[in-house]
Structure formats: structure tokens, C-alpha cells
């Protein structure tokens, strides 16, 4: 239920708190923005876990005055998380949802099909691609990115009449040539999963803005501690909170950050209709994770750099990919748009046979999908994340058969390196 007047009261309160937190530094914001001023009823220093589906009032007048109504769109624990994440990104507003994929889906669908909400049925007919073949909406993505996003766009959205163009966005000319009047959106994931390609956020945003389209940036690998896409021209930012932001590997979540009007549309039309809601317990855990984000990122980054340097010096390692290494082809761009290079590295061995042997020899590092955890997690990319892709799709994504994606945890770097060393020695 959305009513401008009810929403206004909460927005006014939020405005005061935002003004206060915007003046402070990131490390102070991550701990307390969205949560301070603290709930005063019992002097609780922490936001309570509001495990409720609805909010009951003693009169209809009272109900209509209040912001909180039904937890599919409004919940105070989630609200605190939204305020914190919007502050950390320097965005006007945020909406936390069930997972990173839910955030990607909501952000993309709200941009591609936003006219549906505002159009009458007759108008919608005119917009349908089959009635308007020369005006098929299209989206541009990079050759390499999270396979879930690739699947969503190429295998699901394609059935709804959206065309996805796949180009190497590291080359601005390729991107420019792919954009036309019907391009609604350029989806930029940087650093990319799994190859750690670095894309120029400002450059991509400038190109799509020329035709009135939008730029969505997936900031999952960097987190706002290392990269703030809104300041670089992104219209919406999406993040999987499951990863570095929560950081403790105990829940899933996603967020969309951007201008207030867009986010209001996402919350009260798209989320309300699609229902990909975050549970308040997840919000409560992610609030806790967030409070130490920059400190954890420092360790993720330093462990990643140490492991990358070790692997680079090892004769059995064919290739190491880390944006913080001078050998990374986009090192200069990473240095420009990020404050550090992240907790993810990629490396390749000489053969698939060696890869199968190596991964089973690891004793300390855990084999598992996902990333951004306190525990170091490694995956054999083409047989784990890439399992459902055809070999031609892997080739198009530049996904190598001998590649490992490695998420550095917070353990002592010597223990991590020792484990890599003993496994490499035995292959
Ligand atoms: C870059 C990126 N975006 C989005 C997602 C999806 O996030 P979630 O697993 O929270 O749905 C992932 C998951 O690995 C990812 O790596």
C-alpha cells in the first residue's frame, strides 16, 4: 500500500539522519548509518529483528497515517539496512531483496518494461515487440559476467521479446556500435565474474546516456568499500549482499540502489508484484555484517594480493589474474575507479588433468561455489559455475577449461599459501 503522505513522514525523518551521516566517513557510516538514531523504546543499541508480516492498528485513521503496512514492501529491520546501503553508496535510496539475482531481475525489469505500469492496455499493445518489430528493446552485456545474469537475459528475457547483445565492453567502439535507439540498458559487472575483467563505468554510462538508456552496475565483487558506481555515472547499482557485504556466509540477499523515484517504483510496483522479499532475519544478519565491511575488505584484498604474487611466481601456474597485479590488462583502470583490488583472484594451470588433481589435493581451502566469505572458497570454474553452459557459450564468455576462481577468506595468508603450495607440488 503506497500513499505519498504516509511515506513523507518517514522520508523527512530519514532526511535528517542522512544529512548527519553524509558528513561522516565510510568507516563511521558502515557501523551506524540507518541504525542511529537508535530505537528508543527500551534503549536498544541495535535495530530489533521485526519478524512480522503485517502491522496492526486500532483504527483505520491510524493505519492510513502509518508507513508500515505489509512486510512485502515495508519492514523496519529492512528499512534500516536500506538506509545504511544507500548511505554507503551515496545513493538516494535502496531496496533490499531476497538475493543478488532478485536484485538484478528487479532492476533490469523495471528499466526495460517500466512503461507497462504507466500505460493503458491499448498503449501496451502498441509497445509489444511483435506489433513493432523494428523497435525490439535491447540490452547490452559484456562477454564475461556472472552466468546467472547471462542466463536471465539470454534465456528468459529473450522469451519476453527482449534482445540481448553480447560485446566486449572493454573496447568502447564495440559498445558504441552495439547501442542504438532501442537500447534500454547497458549492464556492467566490474570486476567481472569469473574473469575479473575491469570495465570503465563512466565510459559505459556516458555512451548509453547518449540514447537515453540506463546503466546498471553489478558491484558485487568490489562492494561500496572499494567502488562507488553512482559517483561514476551509474543509474542503478545492484549487489549480491550474500557475498562481501554480509561477509559471513550465513544468508542470502540483494540490493538495488539509485534515485528515490526509481526505487519507489521498484518497491511499490515491481517488488510488490514479484514478491522477491528479504526475510527480516537476513536483514538483521546483513546489518551486522555491514558494520565491519571495510575492515574485512582490507584483509580480503591483502590476502588476495599475497596469494596472487605467490601463484605468479610458481612454475606450475600458467596464468594469474588479479586486478592489483601490474600484469592485469586493465590494472590502470582498476587503479582509477577502485580504492583497492578486491578479494577475488583467478588462475590457470596447464591442463584439465592437473586441475582435477590439484583441487582434490587442497586440504585447508574449501571447494565450494559463492564467494566473499570469511572462509577461503575455490571453484573449478568451467565444471562448477559453468556446468550448464554449452562449450560454445563458454568460449563466447572467454571461460577457460583450466581456470580456478578463488575467493580469499580472512584466514592467515601463510596457511592459505601453504595449502596452495603443497597441492601444486603434488600435481
Ligand atoms: C557478480 C554477481 N552478481 C550476482 C550474483 C547473484 O547473487 P545471489 O547468489 O545472491 O543471488 C552473483 C552470485 O554469485 C554474482 O557473482
Ligand 1 centre distance from Cα of residue 238 (Å): 10
The reported pLDDT for the residue numbered 375 is 98
Evaluate: CB of 150 within 6 angstroms of ligand 1.
no
Is residue 347 reached through a cis peptide bond, with omega within 30 degrees of 0 on the bond before it?
no
Domains of the chain by start residue, with CATH = 4-290 (3.40.640.10), 293-425 (3.90.1150.10)
CA 285 – CA 283 distance, rounded (Å):
5
CA 254 to centroid of ligand 1, rounded, Å = 8
Terminal CA-to-CA distance of the chain, rounded, Å? 61
Residue nearest to atom 10 of ligand 1 (CA): 100
249 lines ligand 1 (CB under 6 A): no
Q: What is d(CA 202, CA 355) in angstroms, rounded to the nearest whole number? A: 37
C-alpha 420 – ligand 1 centre gap (Å): 26
How high is the pLDDT of residue 64? Answer: 87
**Residue 127 has what pLDDT?**
67
Q: What is the pLDDT of residue 131?
A: 73
The radius of gyration of the chain's CA atoms, rounded to the nearest angstrom, is 22
Binding site membership of 286 for ligand 1 (Cβ less than 6 Å): no
Residue of the CA atom closest to atom 9 of ligand 1: 100
The DSSP code sequence of 355-390 is HHHHHHH-SSSEE-S---SSS-EEEEGGGTTTTTS-
Ligand 1 pocket test, pick from 100, 193, 222 with the greatest ligand atom count within 8 Å of Cβ, gives 100
Closest atom of ligand 1 to CA, residue 241: 10
Res 129: pLDDT: 66
Say what the pLDDT of residue 17 is: 85
**312 half-sphere exposure, CB direction, 13 A CA radius:** 15
Taking the complete model, does pTM exceed 0.75, yes or no? yes
Backbone angles phi, psi at 237, to 5 degrees: -115, 135
Q: Are 20 and 13 in contact (CB under 8 A)?
A: no
Is any atom of ligand 1 closer than 6 Å to the C-beta of 381? no
State the closest ligand 1 atom to the C-alpha of 252, by its place in the atom list counted from 1: 10
Whole-number Å distance, alpha carbon 14 to ligand 1 midpoint, is 29
Could you tell which of 240, 248, 406 is best to mutate to test the pocket of ligand 1, judged by most ligand atoms within 8 Å of the CB? 240
DSSP string, 299-363: HHHHHHHHHHHHHHT-TTEEEEE-TTSTTSTTHHHHHHH-SS--SEEEEEES-HHHHHHHHHH-S
Beta carbon of 255 within 6 Å of any ligand 1 atom: no
pLDDT of residue 227: 98
- What's the pLDDT score for residue 36? 87
Q: Tens digit of pLDDT per residue, the chain (427 long)?
A: 555 655 556 667 778 888 999 999 999 999 999 998 776 667 888 899 999 999 999 999 999 888 899 999 999 999 999 999 999 999 999 999 999 999 999 999 999 976 555 556 667 677 666 677 667 889 999 999 999 999 999 999 999 889 999 999 999 999 999 999 999 999 999 999 999 999 999 999 999 999 999 999 999 999 999 999 999 999 999 999 999 999 999 999 999 999 999 999 999 999 999 999 999 999 999 999 999 999 999 999 999 999 999 999 999 999 999 999 999 999 999 999 999 999 999 999 999 999 999 999 999 999 999 999 999 999 999 999 999 899 999 999 999 999 999 999 999 999 999 999 999 999 9
C-beta of 344 in contact with ligand 1 (< 6 A): no
From the CA of 220, give the closest atom in ligand 1. Answer: 1
Number of helices (H) and strands (E) in the chain: give both, helices first.
Answer: 18, 12
The alpha carbon dihedral of 279, 276, 187, 393 has a sign of positive
Helix (H) or strand (E) holding 97: strand 93-97
User: Would you tell me the crossing angle of helices 4-22 and 76-89 to the nearest 10 degrees?
Assistant: 50
Length of the chain: 427
Residues 6+ apart with CB under 8 A from 260: 92, 93
Q: Atom of ligand 1 at shortest distance to CA of 253? A: 10
Amino acid at each position: 500500500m503506497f500513499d505519498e503522505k504516509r511515506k513523507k513522514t518517514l522520508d523527512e525523518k530519514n532526511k535528517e539522519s542522512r544529512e548527519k551521516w553524509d558528513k561522516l566517513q565510510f568507516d563511521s557510516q558502515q557501523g551506524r548509518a540507518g541504525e542511529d538514531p537508535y530505537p528508543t523504546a527500551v534503549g536498544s543499541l541495535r535495530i530489533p529483528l521485526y519478524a512480522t508480516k503485517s502491522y496492526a492498528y486500532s483504527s483505520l485513521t491510524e493505519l492510513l497515517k502509518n508507513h508500515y503496512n505489509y512486510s512485502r514492501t515495508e519492514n523496519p529491520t529492512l528499512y534500516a539496512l536500506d538506509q545504511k546501503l544507500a548511505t554507503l553508496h551515496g545513493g538516494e535510496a535502496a531496496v533490499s531483496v531476497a538475493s543478488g539475482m532478485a536484485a538484478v531481475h528487479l532492476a533490469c525489469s523495471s528499466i526495460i518494461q517500466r512503461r507497462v505500469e504507466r500505460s493503458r492496455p491499448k498503449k501496451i499493445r502498441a509497445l509489444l515487440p511483435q506489433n513493432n518489430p523494428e523497435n525490439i528493446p535491447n540490452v547490452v552485456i559484456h562477454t564475461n559476467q556472472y552466468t546467472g545474469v547471462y542466463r536471465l537475459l539470454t534465456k528468459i528475457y529473450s522469451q519476453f521479446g527482449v534482445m540481448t547483445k553480447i560485446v566486449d565492453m572493454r573496447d568502447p567502439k564495440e559498445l558504441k556500435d552495439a547501442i542504438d535507439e532501442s537500447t534500454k540498458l547497458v549492464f556492467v559487472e566490474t570486476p567481472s565474474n569469473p574473469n575479473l575483467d575491469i570495465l570503465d563505468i563512466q565510459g559505459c554510462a556516458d555512451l548509453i546516456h547518449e540514447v537515453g538508456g540506463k546503466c546498471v552496475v553489478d558491484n558485487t565483487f568490489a562492494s561500496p568499500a572499494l567502488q562507488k558506481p553512482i559517483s561514476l555515472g551509474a543509474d542503478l547499482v545492484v549487489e549480491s549482499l550474500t557475498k562481501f557485504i554480509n561477509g559471513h556466509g550465513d544468508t542470502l540477499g540483494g540490493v538495488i540502489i539509485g534515485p528515490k523515484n526509481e526505487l519507489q517504483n521498484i518497491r511499490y510496483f515491481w517488488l510488490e508484484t514479484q514478491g522477491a522479499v528479504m526475510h527480516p532475519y537476513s536483514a538483521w544478519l546483513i546489518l551486522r555484517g555491514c558494520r565491519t565491511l571495510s575492515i574485512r575488505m582490507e584483509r580480503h584484498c591483502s590476502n588476495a594480493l599475497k596469494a596472487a604474487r605467490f601463484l605468479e611466481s610458481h612454475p606450475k601456474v600458467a596464468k594469474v589474474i588479479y586486478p592489483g597485479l601490474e600484469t592485469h590488462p586493465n590494472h590502470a583502470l582498476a587503479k582509477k575507479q577502485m580504492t583497492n583490488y578486491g578479494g577475488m583472484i583467478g588462475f590457470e594451470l596447464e591442463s584439465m588433468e592437473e586441475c582435477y588433481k590439484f583441487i582434490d589435493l587442497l586440504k585447508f581451502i574449501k571447494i565450494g561455489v559463492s564467494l566473499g566469505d570469511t572462509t577461503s572458497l575455490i571453484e573449478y570454474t568451467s565444471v562448477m559455475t559453468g556446468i550448464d553452459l554449452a562449450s560454445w557459450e563458454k568460449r563466447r564468455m572467454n571461460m577457460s577449461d583450466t581456470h580456478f576462481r578463488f575467493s580469499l577468506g580472512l584466514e592467515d595468508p601463510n596457511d592459505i599459501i601453504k595449502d596452495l603450495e603443497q597441492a601444486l607440488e603434488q600435481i
